[in-house]
Every structure is written in structure tokens, then in C-alpha cells.
A and B are shown apart, each in its own frame.
Chain A
Amino acid sequence: MAEVRVRNLKLMYGTAKALDDVSLDFPDGQFFGLLGPSGSGKTTLLRCIAGFIFAQSGSVSIGGEAVDLVPVEKRQVGMMFQNYSLFPNMSVAENIGFGLRVRKVQSSEAKRRVGEALDLVQLSNLGGRRPHQLSGGQRQRVALVRAIVTRPRVLLLDEPLSALDKALRVDMQIELKRIQREVGITTIFVTHDQEEALTLSDRIGILKDGRLIQEGPPQEVYHAPIDRFTAAFLGDANFLDGTAEGQGLRLGDGSLIAWPKGAVPRAMHPVLAVRPEAVAISLSEPGASMSRVKGHLEQVIFAGPTATCLVRVNGKVFKVLAKNQELEGLPAAGAVWLSWHANRGMVLDREM
């Protein structure tokens, strides 16, 4: 197990910046989620750490040792691929034992470790099968233990769950987390699924256009996004435009929305954001202690336990996520009040 450090990685493909001065620490034994839209550089970063790609400048170190000149096969990393990449010409046990075989591990020792690996994912009776005889979830588990049976210093996961259907995916998330905890291995995980990243990760990093935007524990990043992009990418957000004043943000209709307690905006033109689930919707005017705006309810989109209300506020659409009982007595359309606790407002310090 080891900590991974990435320092000032830069990589250009022609004029396109695949990695733009990325520095990041992946703490020992933690589950780190790399998140970003496609083309953000998250997979490129993962492949740099694995050693498939060499950056033009900057360095990667694993467990304090610089690995920039070390080829993939010598880096002692485990990697799990999007489509699992199980060798079709080998049985399940041979697939898992592949890394031990090429390292010339004694066959009795290798056999024991393959057996343990199969036990770990409850596939002990399937060692003789070929990959194509397995279900998607089984293949996924074989790919996972194949990556860790060689006791790598780091486990790299490249969208490992994206090929599974939704129900199976949730099971596998739980399993993945369990095994990662049990083995205690530093894990770096690439995904474009924000919910998956939030569920699994001890820390997350958000990338965009090859740059690291924000990094930290999931709760922190979710509740205190640094800019509009992160706020909108991780969950959903409503943005309030206005002019900054000492106590709060002065909106176009003249009302003042107080800053959250303790938040002192540092930027010249700070933006205030609020999550749809933090907002309450009502016909009557809320108490003055709450942050509030007036709006016009335009549409209610039913989604089972909750509903999304689209409310026009100062010409812009505001999303409100409400439980169904909160909507009782509300007209299908018309004037409404929106309110939230001032502390639920989020000040975005970086303008993008």
C-alpha cells in the first residue's frame, strides 16, 4: 500500500491540453474518486499513474518513489478496465493467476493465493470456467481480484461499473467498497457517474479540461463547491445573480439574500448557489429569518417520492426538489414563495 503523489503533470495532444498542470495527493489506503465530464482528463490522469501514458512534464510517485521512468509492468499497480479485459483464452483461475505467473511466483503459492482471491469474491466453484461463461457481475469480480491478487501498491479502476445495469451496479458498489476496506489498498477510481463517486469515495477530485478544479471529501465538495461548474456537475444547483453587498447579495428585484453565516466572499463578483433539495416552496410568505425569493410556479415534474418544481424567478428557471406532501394545496401554476435557510446558500468564490 502506498500513497500516490502527482506533481505538475502536463500533457498536450497537439494543441489540446489533456493534462494542465495537475498536482494531487492520493492518501494511503483511501478510496479516491476522479470525476469529470468526458474529455476532462480523468482517464488520462489514471493512465499516467498506471504508466501507459508518459506526461511531457511533471512527476508521479508511488510510496515516495518516483516512477516516471518505470514502465507499467514494473510499477506494481493493479488496474481494472471498463470492459474487464479478461483473457478469453484462459480460465477464471488462470486469469487471476496471470500476474503471479509472469512474476514467476511458485505454483503452490500461486494456487493458494488464487484460491483465496476466489474466496474473497465468493466464486470458489467457478475457477475452471472461461470468462464468456460468466455473468457481467461475476466477470467484474474476477477482474477486480485479478488486479489485486499480485498485491499491488495501488489499485486503479477505470469506470469499472459502467457496463453493468443499474441494480447490479449498486450491489457491486457495496462489494467493491467492502473489498477495498478489507484489503486496505489505495484506490483511484475514474467515473463520470457523480452519485457513484459520492457513494464510494473517501475523497473526490473534480477535473475539467485537463485541470483539477476542486478536491476534498465528498461532503465538503458537495456542500462547498468552488465554482459554478462543480456546483452544477456534482448534483444540481440554482444560481442567483446580483450585486454583492456587505450583508448579502442584492437581487435584480431589490431583495437582499444574506450570506451564509461565516462565509466571507473573497471574490469580486461572488455567486450564490443553492441546491434544489434545500429549497422549500410555499404559498404563504416565509419568516424573515429565511432567505427567500418570490417566483412563479410553471411546472411540476412528478418522480415518485419527490417532484421537481420549475419556478421562474427574476426571469430565470429555479429548480426545487420537494417531497410530495409539501406540494399539497399548491396550484398547478401561480405565484409562490421559495425559501431556504441562509446557511444552505453556497458562495462560489471562483467565477467561471
Chain B
Amino acid sequence: MAGAGQSQVLRAGALLAPAYVWLTVAIFLPLSAMLFFSFLSAAPFTNADWHLTADNYTAFFARSLYPYLLGRSLLLAAVVTCLCVLIGYPCAYVLAKQIKGRSREALFLLIILPFWSNSLVRIFSWAIVLRGNGILDHALKALLPFDVSVNLMFSYTAVVIGLVHSYLPYVILTSYLALEAIDDSLIEAARVMGAPMRTILARIILPLSLPGLASGAVLIFVPVAGSFMEPRILGGRSGTFYGTVIEDQFVAVFNWPLGAALSFILLAVVLVILGIAAPLQRRAQ
């Protein structure tokens, strides 16, 4: 009966409306506003006259600095993602397939615990380790017979180390979930048929866990491409990236329309990447 169906829709609406109105006001309207803003010549709440223009987008291409920095950020994201995958996937494999029982749960918890703790503070902790005359310096001096002096602070390497540290748990988490879901009997069946471990990894384990691995990679690549706090703290002068330029437009230069355009270009790149990765993330049936 129509009446009963209608009251269901009303009830569902009453429960859903607060959350979704909130999301609309605080996420979707702002994103739309930013799109609009990126086509303005000046922010409407300043005294300056404003009109619609595509100048902010042409500015991106007019100055080779912006495409260069976007490329640099994407390259940084690629490097960090690769390192996280190379370090994290074997770790997830050991956890999912070699370690059993309670110790596995405890280790897994230990690995993803930092992922939910304050990222700013964790980046800051690297500053203490990496700075000249810092802990790493002291430790290496104590261990090595010859005299060395390491000062990784304010370098590209420092930024990469900090970001890998921040995002490594993502790829371990997603790969672990995918690897754990692989039935052990599949691996046993392959071994009974005489497949060497190398073949099993390449033909069974990797393909079956690829969706999880891809999700983890996307979860790393996207935020790293837009990172600005990590390069600022650990990169110093070599820490100028696309994200820091956007930050500058909003907190230092106060050219919000340009900042909005730069943000939107980044968003477009992010969407393209999500689109490319989507088929990989779908479960291989």
C-alpha cells in the first residue's frame, strides 16, 4: 500500500537528513563554491571589483613553475607510494600468512596504531631524529669507526622518509585484509601441483591481493600529492611542492581565486588517478 511506503520514506528521510545536510553544507557546497571561485578575478568579499574569468587557469600554464611543482608533487607521491608498497606488502604478507594466532592480532594492531595518531606530531618526531647533531647523527657516530656527520634534515630525503613513515600503515592494512582473505588451501593446492614459491607468489597471491594493494596505493598517492605540512617541516627550502604553493595562496599571498584554481587542478588529477585505479581495486572474481 502506498501509504505504508510513504511513511517509510519519511522515516528514512528524518534519520538521514541531518547527516547529509551537514555533509552537503560542509563538503559539497564548499567544493562547488571553490569551483566557482576559481573562475573569479578577485574574491567577492574584498573591496576589489570582480568578474568571471579563466585567468586563474591560464596562469597555471603561463608560469612553468606551477606545472613543474605539480609534476614534482606527483613524482614525490609516486616515490613514496612505491616505497610504501615495497616495504609494506612483504610485511602484510608475513602477518597474514606466516604469523598465526594472538600474536598476529597484536602485531597488526601495533602496526596500524600510529596511523590513527597525530600525523603532525609523528612528522615532528622525525625532525628530532634527522637533524644535524640529532639522534641519527649520534647513533651513527657511536656505531661507525670512522667519523661521519649526517644531516638529512631539510632535504628531499627527509620529506620522503617522513611521508613513508606516515603512510606505510595504509598499504599494510589494505594488503593484509586482501591477503588474509586468500584461502590457504589455494596455496597448498598449487604446492601439491609442484609450483615453486616464486610462481605461487606471481600467479596466485599477487593477483588475488592486487585489489587491496591498489586501494592502499591510491590511499597513499592521493594525499601525498596534496601534502604541504610534511614538506614544510622536514623539507625546509627544498620543501616547495604543489601543496605548499596552494597553502601560500590561502595563508600568505591571499590570492584565493588562484588557490582555488590550483586546488581544482589537483582535484582533477586526483579524480583521474582514482578513475585509473578503480578497475584494479575491483575484486578479481
Touch between A and B in complex, CB under 8 Å? Answer: yes
A interface residue numbers (CB < 8 A to B): 54-56, 68-69, 71
Cα(A68)–Cα(B4), bound, Å:
10
B interface residue numbers (CB < 8 A to A): 1, 3-5
Contacts between chains A and B (CB distance < 8 A), count = 9
Given the complex, which residues of B lie within 8 Å of A68, measured CB to CB? 1
Given the complex, which residues of A lie within 8 Å of B4, measured CB to CB? 54, 71
Given the complex, which residues of B lie within 8 Å of A69, measured CB to CB? 1, 3
Closest 9 CB pairs of A and B: A54-B1, A54-B4, A68-B1, A69-B3, A69-B1, A71-B4, A55-B1, A56-B1, A54-B5
Given the complex, which residues of A lie within 8 Å of B1, measured CB to CB? 54-56, 68-69
> Which residue on chain B has the smallest CB distance to residue A53?
B4
Given the complex, which residues of A lie within 8 Å of B5, measured CB to CB? 54
Given the complex, which residues of A lie within 8 Å of B3, measured CB to CB? 69
> Which residue on chain B has the smallest CB distance to residue A57?
B1
Cα(A71)–Cα(B5), bound, Å:
12
Cα(A352)–Cα(B1), bound, Å:
33
Given the complex, which residues of B lie within 8 Å of A55, measured CB to CB? 1
Minimal beta-carbon separation of B8 from chain A (angstroms): 10
Minimal beta-carbon separation of A300 from chain B (angstroms): 42
Residue picked from B3, B4, B5, most chain A C-beta under 10 Å: B4
9 A-B contact pairs sorted by A residue (CB < 8 Å) = A54-B1, A54-B4, A54-B5, A55-B1, A56-B1, A68-B1, A69-B1, A69-B3, A71-B4
Minimal beta-carbon separation of B4 from chain A (angstroms): 5
Cα(A71)–Cα(B3), bound, Å:
11
Minimal beta-carbon separation of A143 from chain B (angstroms): 26
Cα(A68)–Cα(B3), bound, Å:
11
Minimal beta-carbon separation of A336 from chain B (angstroms): 52
Minimal beta-carbon separation of A52 from chain B (angstroms): 10
Given the complex, which residues of B lie within 8 Å of A56, measured CB to CB? 1
> Which residue on chain A has the smallest CB distance to residue B7?
A71
Cα(A71)–Cα(B1), bound, Å:
11
Cα(A56)–Cα(B5), bound, Å:
11
Cα(A54)–Cα(B5), bound, Å:
9
> Which residue on chain B has the smallest CB distance to residue A56?
B1
Minimal beta-carbon separation of B10 from chain A (angstroms): 14
Cα(A71)–Cα(B7), bound, Å:
11
Minimal beta-carbon separation of A36 from chain B (angstroms): 24
> Which residue on chain A has the smallest CB distance to residue B5?
A54
Cα(A94)–Cα(B4), bound, Å:
30
Cα(A69)–Cα(B5), bound, Å:
12
Given the complex, which residues of B lie within 8 Å of A71, measured CB to CB? 4
Cα(A55)–Cα(B3), bound, Å:
12
Minimal beta-carbon separation of B5 from chain A (angstroms): 8
Cα(A54)–Cα(B2), bound, Å:
9
> Which residue on chain A has the smallest CB distance to residue B1?
A54
> Which residue on chain B has the smallest CB distance to residue A71?
B4
Minimal beta-carbon separation of B11 from chain A (angstroms): 12
> Which residue on chain B has the smallest CB distance to residue A51?
B4
Minimal beta-carbon separation of B3 from chain A (angstroms): 7
Minimal beta-carbon separation of B70 from chain A (angstroms): 50
Cα(A20)–Cα(B4), bound, Å:
21
Cα(A55)–Cα(B4), bound, Å:
11
Cα(A9)–Cα(B65), bound, Å:
73
Minimal beta-carbon separation of A70 from chain B (angstroms): 10
Minimal beta-carbon separation of B233 from chain A (angstroms): 48
Give 6 new A-B contacts, CB below 8 A, not counting A54-B1, A54-B4, A54-B5: A55-B1, A56-B1, A68-B1, A69-B1, A69-B3, A71-B4
> Which residue on chain B has the smallest CB distance to residue A68?
B1
Cα(A69)–Cα(B1), bound, Å:
8
Cα(A69)–Cα(B3), bound, Å:
8
Minimal beta-carbon separation of A9 from chain B (angstroms): 12
> Which residue on chain A has the smallest CB distance to residue B3?
A69
Minimal beta-carbon separation of A7 from chain B (angstroms): 15
Cα(A254)–Cα(B3), bound, Å:
63
Cα(A68)–Cα(B2), bound, Å:
12
Cα(A6)–Cα(B5), bound, Å:
21
Cα(A305)–Cα(B29), bound, Å:
78
Residue picked from A54, A56, A71, most chain B C-beta under 10 Å: A54
Minimal beta-carbon separation of A280 from chain B (angstroms): 54
Minimal beta-carbon separation of B53 from chain A (angstroms): 52
Cα(A56)–Cα(B1), bound, Å:
6
Cα(A165)–Cα(B93), bound, Å:
42
Given the complex, which residues of B lie within 8 Å of A54, measured CB to CB? 1, 4-5
Cα(A82)–Cα(B121), bound, Å:
54
Minimal beta-carbon separation of A349 from chain B (angstroms): 36
> Which residue on chain A has the smallest CB distance to residue B2?
A54
Cα(A68)–Cα(B1), bound, Å:
9
Cα(A56)–Cα(B4), bound, Å:
11
Cα(A54)–Cα(B3), bound, Å:
10
Cα(A55)–Cα(B2), bound, Å:
10
Minimal beta-carbon separation of B125 from chain A (angstroms): 43
Minimal beta-carbon separation of A332 from chain B (angstroms): 45
Minimal beta-carbon separation of B161 from chain A (angstroms): 48
Residue picked from B1, B3, B5, most chain A C-beta under 10 Å: B1
Minimal beta-carbon separation of A231 from chain B (angstroms): 37
Cα(A131)–Cα(B5), bound, Å:
34
Cα(A69)–Cα(B4), bound, Å:
8
Cα(A304)–Cα(B225), bound, Å:
76
